[in-house]
Amino acid sequence: MNRIKAVQRALASRPNAVYLEIGVAQGVAFMRVAADEKIAVDPAFTMSPRTRRLADAKARVTHYFETTSDAFFAEQGALLERTGIDVALIDGLHTSEQALRDVENTLRHLRDDGVIVVHDCNPARASIATPADSYTDFRRRNHWWNVNWSGDVWKAVVHLCSFRPDLQVAVLDCDFGVGLVRRGVPESMLSFTAEQIDALSYEDLAADREHLLNLKPAAHLDEFVAGPPPQRQAG
Ligand SMILES: C[S@@+](CC[C@H](N)C(=O)[O-])C[C@H]1O[C@@H](n2cnc3c(N)ncnc32)[C@H](O)[C@@H]1O
């Protein structure tokens, strides 16, 4: 299981599905995902022409926006109003503030039964979780052999679990932590304030990641994507 399989599973059996990917890089995920309409956002695409052809072949329409996610959401409201979003992969700038903003902006256009997949929610080592302003900043703060950067995206999960009683949030224990977000009543919530979340350290995460992230085995994906069982009507 990984972020790409999670996206593919969430998209399965949705007619005319719209897929948004924030942070695309070489297009490793974007070229594999099949949807009716695909939207790619990255301030610095590094997709080869071949990868772009493969990505385009898996959609009726593709859109590429070479810009930051904040600028994309600020400028492309009309497009998103028209298309809506079925499934999004959030994998752009790996700071908790940006990841949270990307989730919140995506939610404004997400269909009622839509699913947001957030990559990099469960860093396995402190070096991977180094808070930094950018990948370049991360490189400056770390030995050259540490190449994986998830930053403190995990705090965005803690924030959602603390402040959003309208969202179901879980993290699959695979591929640097595959976060899942959808509308619905959460199993349980956390009770941190924003200041307390700010003060959490990697050691706090390592000591209690099951609870802080609502960490689940990868096999939980099917149950999450299926959503809550239909409510019984009273009477
Ligand atoms: C880890 S890579 C994405 C990998 C890709 N999703 C995949 O699965 O193959 C992160 C990407 O986020 C992009 N990025 C950085 N800051 C961003 C921002 N503010 N908005 C959107 N994308 C951003 C970087 O340029 C980089 O290409």
In tens, the pLDDT along 18-52 reads 999 999 999 999 999 999 999 999 999 999 999 99
Q: Which residue, judged by its Cα, is nearest atom 8 of ligand 1?
A: 29
According to DSSP, the β-strands at 215-216 and 167-172 are parallel
Check if the beta carbon of residue 58 is closer than 8 Å to that of residue 79: no
DSSP state of 144: T
Which amino acid is it at 226?
A
State pLDDT tens for residues 128-165: 999 999 999 999 988 888 889 999 999 999 999 999 99
Could you tell which of 2, 7, 21, 24 is best to mutate to test the pocket of ligand 1, judged by most ligand atoms within 8 Å of the CB? 24
Is the separation of the CB atoms in 2 and 174 below 8 Å? Answer: yes
Per residue in 59-81, pLDDT (tens digit) is 999 999 999 999 999 999 999 99
b/e burial code for range 161-172 (CB count within 10 A of at least 16 → b)? bbbbeebbbbbb
What type of residue is 137? D
Of all residues in the chain, what percent carry a pLDDT higher than 70?
97
Query: pLDDT tens, 158-193?
Result: 999 999 999 999 999 999 999 999 999 999 999 999
Which domains are present in the chain? 3-216 (3.40.50.150)
Q: What's the CA angle centered on 215, arms 209 and 216, to 5 degrees?
A: 150
Mean pLDDT of 85-93: 98
Torsion of CA 79, 2, 151, 193, to 10 degrees: 80
Q: Which numbered atom of ligand 1 lies nearest the CA of 25?
A: 27
Q: Which ligand 1 atom is at minimum distance from the Cα of 46?
A: 27
What number of other Cβ atoms are within 10 A of residue 42's Cβ?
Answer: 24
| Maximal CA-CA distance, the chain | 65
- Other C-beta atoms within 10 Å of 67: how many? 16
The ligand 1 atom at the shortest distance from the C-alpha of residue 149 is: 1
Q: Residues lining ligand 1, CB < 6 A?
A: 3, 21-25, 28-29, 41-44, 68-69, 91-93, 98
Task: Using the mean position of ligand 1's atoms as its centre, give its distance from the Cα of residue 191 in Å.
Answer: 30
Residue 171, SS3? strand
What pLDDT is attached to residue 36?
Answer: 98
Q: How confident is the model at residue 231 (pLDDT cuts 50, 70, 90)?
A: low
SS3 16: coil
Question: pLDDT higher for 27 or 227?
Answer: 27
Which of 3, 33, 72, 91 gets mutated to test ligand 1 (max ligand atoms within 8 A of its CB)?
91
Strands 110-118 and 178-183 turn out to be: antiparallel
Give the residue, out of 8, 69, 72, 93, with the most ligand 1 atoms within 8 A of its beta carbon, to mutate for a pocket test.
93
**What is the signed CA dihedral for 141, 147, 152, 157, rounded to 10 degrees?**
180
21 CA from centroid of ligand 1 (Å) = 9
What pLDDT is recorded for position 232?
61
Nearest protein Cα to ligand 1, atom 6: 24
Q: Which pLDDT score, from 0 to 100, does residue 144 have? A: 87
Q: Please give the backbone phi and psi of residue 150, each rounded to the nearest 5 degrees, phi first.
A: -105, -15
* pLDDT confidence tier of residue 230, bands split at 50, 70 and 90: low
- Distance (Å, rounded) from C-alpha 36 to C-alpha 169? 26
pLDDT of 7 strictly over 80:
yes
How high does pLDDT run on average in the chain? Answer: 96
